[in-house]
C-alpha cells in the first residue's frame, strides 16, 4: 500500500499496549487524524510540529505511521505555564469540535498562527475566546445576522441558538443573552484578519463564559 506524507501538530499521545502509542495530530490535508506509532517511533511529544510518512490500515480511520521528522518542538510553549495552558486549550478544542479525516487547511493555518502568538498573549481570555469564535465561524456554526429570526427587528442584544439569533423580546428565558457591546465584540473577533485586532479586544469574564457555553452547545451535536 502506498505511503503518503503530511505534516501536523501533535495534539495528544495515548499509550497503547506496552510499547506503542496512538498519536492524534491536526493536519492541513487530513484534519484530525490518528496514527498508530510503533514502539521504535513512539517518542512523539504533544504540541510539536512533525512531518509524517504514513499509509492507510485497510479502511480503518487509524493510520499507520512509518516514520516522522521533527519540524518544530515548540519549546517556547513550555517556558511559561500560562503559555502552555493557552496552547493546550487550542488542542483540546480541536479535539472537541473536529470530525476525523476532514481536511481543514485554513483551520490548520489558524492553529499555527495562534501557536505562534500563544507566548505573546497578555490577555488569555481574549486569546482563547477568539479561537473558539473563529472555530465556530470556520465550521459554519456561528451565525451573526443583523435581524431577529422571529420578528426581523434589528438586533441589539441577542440570544444565539444553534445558528439562529433572536432579539431580547423573543429570546428563550434559558438562553444567555449577548449584550449589544458583546455582539459587537463577537463580530469583531469573528471577522478579525490580524492578531493585533484580536488582542486589542478587552472583554468581561461573563462574555468568555457565554462564548464557552455557546461553543459547547454548538459542538456537542457533532458526535
Tell me the pLDDT tens digit for each residue of 123-155: 899 999 999 999 999 998 888 889 999 999 999
Q: Give the span between the Cα atoms of 190 and 28, in whole angstroms.
A: 21
Grade residue 158 by pLDDT with cuts at 50, 70 and 90: very high
Grade residue 53 by pLDDT with cuts at 50, 70 and 90: very high
The Cβ of residue 153 has, within 10 Å, a number of other Cβ atoms equal to: 13
Burial tier of 180 (Cβ tally within 10 Å: 0-12, 13-18, 19+) = exposed
Q: Give the span between the Cα atoms of 125 and 115, in whole angstroms.
A: 15
Residues in the chain, overall count: 223
Q: Give the span between the Cα atoms of 16 and 64, in whole angstroms.
A: 14
User: Edge-to-edge strand order for the sheet containing 177-178?
Assistant: 164-167, 158-161, 177-178
Q: Work out whether the CA dihedral 9, 14, 18, 20 comes out positive or negative.
A: negative
Q: Which fold has domain 4-75?
A: OB fold (Dihydrolipoamide Acetyltransferase, E2P) (2.40.50)
Grade residue 52 by pLDDT with cuts at 50, 70 and 90: very high
State the pTM of this model: 0.91
Average pLDDT over residues 190-216: 92
Burial tier of 61 (Cβ tally within 10 Å: 0-12, 13-18, 19+) = exposed
Burial tier of 169 (Cβ tally within 10 Å: 0-12, 13-18, 19+) = exposed
Q: Is the pLDDT of residue 219 over 90?
A: no
Taking only the tens place, the pLDDT of each residue in 92-131 is 999 999 999 999 999 999 999 999 999 999 889 999 999 9
Least confident of 35-44, 83-92, 171-180, 199-208: 35-44
Written as nine digits, the cell of 46 is 504533544
In contact, 85 and 124? CB cutoff 8 Å: yes
CA 69 to chain centre: 24
The mean pLDDT of the chain is: 91
Domain boundaries, the chain: 4-75, 121-222
Amino acid at each position: 500500500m502506498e505511503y503518503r506524507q503530511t505534516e501536523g501538530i501533535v495534539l495528544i499521545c495515548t499509550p497503547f499496549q506496552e510499547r506503542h502509542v496512538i498519536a492524534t495530530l491536526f493536519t492541513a490535508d487530513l484534519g484530525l487524524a490518528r496514527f498508530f506509532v510503533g514502539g521504535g517511533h513512539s517518542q512523539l511529544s504533544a504540541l510539536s510540529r512533525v512531518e509524517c510518512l504514513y499509509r492507510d490500515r485497510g479502511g480503518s480511520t487509524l493510520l499507520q505511521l512509518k516514520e516522522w521528522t521533527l519540524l518544530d518542538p515548540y519549546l517556547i510553549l513550555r517556558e511559561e505555564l500560562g503559555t502552555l495552558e493557552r496552547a493546550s486549550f487550542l488542542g483540546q478544542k480541536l479535539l472537541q469540535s473536529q470530525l476525523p479525516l476532514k481536511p481543514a487547511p485554513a483551520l490548520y493555518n489558524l492553529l499555527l498562527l495562534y501557536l505562534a502568538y500563544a507566548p505573546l498573549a497578555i490577555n488569555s481570555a481574549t486569546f482563547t475566546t477568539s479561537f473558539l469564535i473563529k472555530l465556530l465561524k470556520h465550521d459554519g456554526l456561528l451565525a451573526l445576522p443583523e435581524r431577529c429570526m422571529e420578528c426581523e427587528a434589528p438586533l441589539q442584544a441577542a440570544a444565539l441558538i444553534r445558528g439562529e439569533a433572536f432579539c431580547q423580546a423573543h429570546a428563550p428565558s434559558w438562553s444567555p443573552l449577548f449584550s449589544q457591546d458583546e455582539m459587537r465584540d463577537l463580530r469583531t473577533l469573528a471577522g478579525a484578519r490580524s492578531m493585533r485586532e484580536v488582542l486589542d479586544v478587552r472583554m468581561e469574564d461573563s462574555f468568555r463564559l457565554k462564548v464557552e457555553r455557546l461553543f459547547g452547545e454548538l459542538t456537542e451535536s457533532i458526535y
